């Protein structure tokens, strides 16, 4: 399942407009889109390791901008999207996000920015909860930046070996990430 997607994304990563696609994906994922930018960032870093740091910076900046858009959605439009949220699986995540803000404040944004937890839920929740905007921006920048620069660093450090190993183990990596996300969600649910 993951190998064909990886091959397709790797071909996009070499496209002449790849950086634009990465910006669009990074922005959208932080406010409404379900696919994380890592799936494009990693192959792009692999395809052009000399540009990995630039790609990580671009991903971070676009993700931060998308996070601010998500915050604005929560701040200005929450009453409009609330009925939709209540009828989807995102409602429980929204409530959990609100609880995390009450418990940990801006640290919840940092954790969501770095982890595989859906960041968009936290951006919208932060706006709806009227979380301090400058603190939200700093926490988002640090969390998202740490995540995307870590991806770039792993690809750069892995070099040619990573280029050979990644396609070989992409299925295992993909299912491991899915299992990790499910385990993290189960853990979070058990704590609430």
- Domain of residue 68 covers 2-191
- The tally of domains found in the chain comes to 1
Question: Which of 10-14, 55-59, 90-94 is most confident?
Answer: 55-59
- pTM, two decimals, is 0.77
Q: What is the 3-state secondary structure (H, E, C) of the chain?
A: CHHHHHHHHHHHHCCCCHHHHHHHHHHHHCCCCCCCCHHHHHHHHHHCHHHHHHHHHHHHHHHHHHHHHHHHHHHHHHHHHHHHHHCCCHHHHHHHHHHHHHHHCCHHHHHHHHCCCCHHHHHHHHHHCCCCHHHHHHHHHHHHHHHHHHHHHHHHHHHHHHHHHHHHHHHHHHHHHHHHHHHHHHHHHHHC
Residue 178, pLDDT above cutoff 60:
no
Percent of the chain residues topping a pLDDT of 90: 26
* Low-confidence winner among 28-37, 72-81, 171-180 (lowest mean pLDDT): 171-180
pLDDT in tens, 66-87: 999 999 999 999 999 888 888 8
């Amino acid at each position: 399942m993951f190998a064909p997607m990886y091959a397709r994304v790797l071909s996009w990563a070499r496209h002449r407009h790849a950086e634009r696609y990465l910006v669009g994906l990074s922005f959208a994922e932080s406010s409404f889109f379900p696919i994380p930018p890592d799936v494009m960032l990693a192959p792009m870093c692999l395809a052009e390791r000399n540009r990995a740091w630039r790609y990580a910076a671009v991903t971070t900046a676009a993700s931060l901008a998308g996070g601010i858009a998500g915050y604005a959605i929560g701040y200005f439009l929450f009453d409009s999207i609330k009925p939709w949220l209540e009828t989807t699986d995102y409602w429980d995540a929204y409530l959990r996000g609100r609880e995390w803000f009450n418990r940990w404040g801006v640290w919840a944004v940092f954790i969501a920015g770095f982890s595989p937890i859906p960041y968009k839920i936290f951006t919208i929740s932060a706006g709806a909860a009227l979380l301090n905007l400058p603190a939200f921006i700093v926490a988002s920048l640090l969390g998202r930046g740490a995540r995307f620069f870590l991806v770039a660093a792993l690809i750069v450090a892995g070099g040619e070996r990573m280029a050979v190993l990644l396609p070989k183990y992409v299925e295992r990596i993909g299912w491991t990430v899915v299992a990790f996300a499910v385990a993290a969600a189960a853990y979070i649910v058990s704590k609430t």
